A = this chain, B = another copy of it.
Amino acid sequence: MKFNEFLNHLSNYEPGKDIELIAKEYGVKEVIKLASNENPFGTPSKAIECLRQNANKAHLYPDDSMVELKSALAQKYKIQNENIIIGAGSDQVIEFAIHSKLNSKNAFLQAGVTFAMYEIYAKQCGAKCYKTQSITHNLDEFKKLYETHKDEIKLIFLCLPNNPLGECLDASEVIEFIKGVHKDCLVVIDAAYNEFASFKDSKKHLEPCELIKEFENVLYLGTFSKLYGLGGLRIGYGIANANIISAFYKLRAPFNVSNLALKAAVVAMDDDEFTKKTLENNFSQMQLYKEFAKKYDIKIIDSYTNFITYFFDEKNSTDLSEKLLKKGIIIRNLKSYGLNAIRITIGTSYENERFFTEFDKILR
């Protein structure tokens, strides 16, 4: 059977075996997963309670207007419901953005190393990818590339802070940069981890309400997968002016998010105790990862998020990842990003200690 031509340019799916199952196959007693930037404190207790209470409503289709969650987000961010679209993870909003703006005749711009899905989704549209030479976000390079290919570039991704590297631009420089971008070019601010950056340094804080008031071409992405501990439920959102949201709605399938996710997200947003604990633990534990790196002369980039990336010179990241896996510790090998590096999610103090103990043995 023949399929649409564009599928020929997409790589074949490799049904990766669940890494947790692999670790178990090694016969380890305990698996510590520091690979997916999940919340180390688990699901917020209020969300657990909500899920348990609503488990008996799993047969009912979601309220497709999503008015309850939209209203809660609108209140939080001082925006209107018409400025919001809910996605199955902020990933799905990235798909909407790409499918509405990109095609085989135009291009997008991103940092040298950033969230892999931008490029993967964009390939579905056949759009060209411009990347900065720097692996981290360097706005001078962004500007140069943008100016050179202005007519072609219709979408720019800024990942703030950047996954999988952890660096974060200041809000003020982001705003200055956007001023130089043509109104027909959509600037996507992927703020999946921005709460972490804002907590560490208020200069990194991005306020969607101000962004969309000033710029008609900005899309702000948020998620419940990281700070709010709901990664398994697949729920995130996009905030932009109503024209953009309305275009995205044309691409959205009805009932794109489960009813339990909608309900849990509303209560997770309110669990200040949980988010405070998460943020405080994250940066106090981050300090230990920095000290560990220093001790072993491992290169790092100062991280503004809930993971840290260790860069290696001589040692091989694949080899190190394998060795950790055999000890039941799962981290993310960044070889597929072209880096000899590993990304480690900051866990609980117990999980981090286990990592330090095992990694110490491996590095010696």
CB distance from A320 to the nearest CB of B (A): 22
The 8 A CB mask of A241-271 against B (1 = contact, 0 = none) is 0011011011111111111110010000000
Complex CA–CA separation, A47 to B55 (angstroms): 8
Most B C-beta atoms less than 10 A away, residue of A38, A117, A234: A234
A231 at the interface (CB under 8 A from B): yes
Contacting pair A91 B258 (CB below 8 A): no
Closest to A103 in B: B4
> Using a Cβ–Cβ cut-off of 8 Å, how many residues does chain A contribute to the interface with B?
81
Distance in angstroms from A331 CB to nearest chain B CB is 15
- The answer for the CA separation of A16 and B255 in the assembled complex, in Å, is 12
Shortest Cβ distance from A61 into chain B, in angstroms? Answer: 5
Among A103, A247, A264, chain B packs the most CB atoms within 10 A around the CB of A247
Kindly report which residue of chain B lies nearest to residue A33, judged by CB atoms: B60
Asked if B16 and A65 make an inter-chain contact with CB atoms under 8 angstroms apart, the answer reads yes
Residue among A1, A10, A183 with the most chain B CB within 10 A?
A1
Which chain B positions have C-beta within 8 A of A59?
38-39, 42-43, 229-232
Say whether, besides A18-B63, A38-B61, A43-B56, A10 and B250 are in contact (CB < 8 Å): yes
Instruction: Give every chain B residue within 8 A of A102 (Cβ-Cβ).
Output: 4
Asked whether, in the complex, the Cβ of B57 is within 8 Å of the Cβ of A43, the reply is yes
Which residues on B sit within 8 Å (CB–CB) of A91?
253-255
Write the chain B residue with the least CB distance to A11: B250
Cβ 8 A contact of A16, one of B1, B36, B64, B251: B64
Q: Which of A71-79, A93-101, A162-170 contacts B (4 or more CB under 8 A)?
A: A93-101
Given contacts A4-B103, A42-B56, contact A232 B62 (CB under 8 A): yes
Contact of A3 among B65, B100, B254 (CB under 8 A): B100
Q: Is A189 an interface residue (CB 8 A)?
A: no
A20 interface residue (CB < 8 Å to B): yes
Q: Does A2 contact B (CB under 8 A)?
A: yes
Q: Assess the A3–B63 pair: CB atoms within 8 A.
A: no
Separation of A117 and B256 alpha carbons in the complex (Å): 13
A28 sits at the interface (CB 8 A): no
Residue of B nearest to A91 (CB): B253
Pairs across A and B, CB under 8 Å, 15 listed: A3-B101, A10-B250, A13-B250, A13-B252, A17-B67, A39-B59, A43-B57, A43-B58, A48-B55, A58-B229, A91-B254, A91-B255, A95-B253, A124-B250, A258-B260
